[in-house]
Amino acid sequence: MTALGDSMAEQNYSEVATVTAPEAAILTEADLEKRALGWAHTARFRTTASQLDQLPQTELPEIAFVGRSNAGKSTAINTLTQQKRLAFASKTPGRTQHINLFDLGPKMVPNAIFADLPGYGYAAVARGAKLRWQKVMAEYLDVRRSLVGVVLMIDSRLGFTDLDHQLMSFVAPRVGNGSVRLLVLLTKADKLNRSEAAQALAGAQQALGEIVTDEADVGVALFSALKKSGVGDAAKVLHAWVHGV
């Protein structure tokens, strides 16, 4: 996928914003993907916070990105937004344990927020800091009112670890009652052959069985930033969470 230019993304976006319902019905899958990627490309840094009470209280629907450190979260965010260094802020010393927020949509009237949450499970982090962050993540996922969805990055070769199950348990009540949606991206899928990919999907579906209910909206997909596979589909899912289509 080639990166869309800013002006092109905005043009796509504003074209889309004026589409009326009957026309929307005839958009092809390719149109929908282009629209979703154009929207994702508008992401820009808004603010960073080390504590929940520092986060702005907004009405904008918020999508949180979570995952073990090294799961490929920063790369996935950069790929989804078609920006080389957007999630770079989350990697700079002093910000690795912050929640970084990005606005999406037209410049003057953003319509959604991406929240990049700190990667967990990094061995070198001191125990005290780990516990503090576990608490912040649990609280964020439990109480952040504007949260509409969570994108959980799982390294497709490793599958769900104890920490991933723990993370899911923080948000399970809200996923279970359908108020927060969940998309699991099995990252680095380019490293798997066909049967390994099928196994990774089956393993994830089994792990997700723990929290799936009739009300829950839970998806899982293979994702490769390297091969750019699963990117358009993931963008469409997130666009639909925010815009309904």
Site of interaction with ligand GDP (CB under 6 A): 67, 69-75, 119, 187-188, 190-191, 224-226
Radius of gyration from C-alpha coordinates of the chain: 17
**Residue 131: CB minimum distance to ligand GDP, A:** 20
Beta strands in the chain (DSSP E): 44-49, 62-67, 99-104, 112-116, 147-155, 181-187, 218-222
**Residue 192: CB minimum distance to ligand GDP, A:** 10
With respect to ligand GDP, which residue has the nearer C-beta, 58 or 161? Answer: 161
With respect to ligand GDP, which residue has the nearer C-beta, 132 or 228? Answer: 228
Residue matched to tokens 């912040």: 136
**Residue 13: CB minimum distance to ligand GDP, A:** 26
**Residue 231: CB minimum distance to ligand GDP, A:** 10
With respect to ligand GDP, which residue has the nearer C-beta, 223 or 241? Answer: 223
**Residue 161: CB minimum distance to ligand GDP, A:** 13
With respect to ligand GDP, which residue has the nearer C-beta, 71 or 204? Answer: 71
Q: Helices 6-17 and 29-41: crossing angle, nearest 10°?
A: 120
The rounded distance, in Å, linking the Cα atoms of 19 and 121 is 44
DSSP 216-245: --EEEEE-BTTTTBSHHHHHHHHHHHHH--
Q: What is the dihedral of CA 221, 163, 218, 90, to 10 degrees?
A: -70
- Count of residues making up the chain: 245
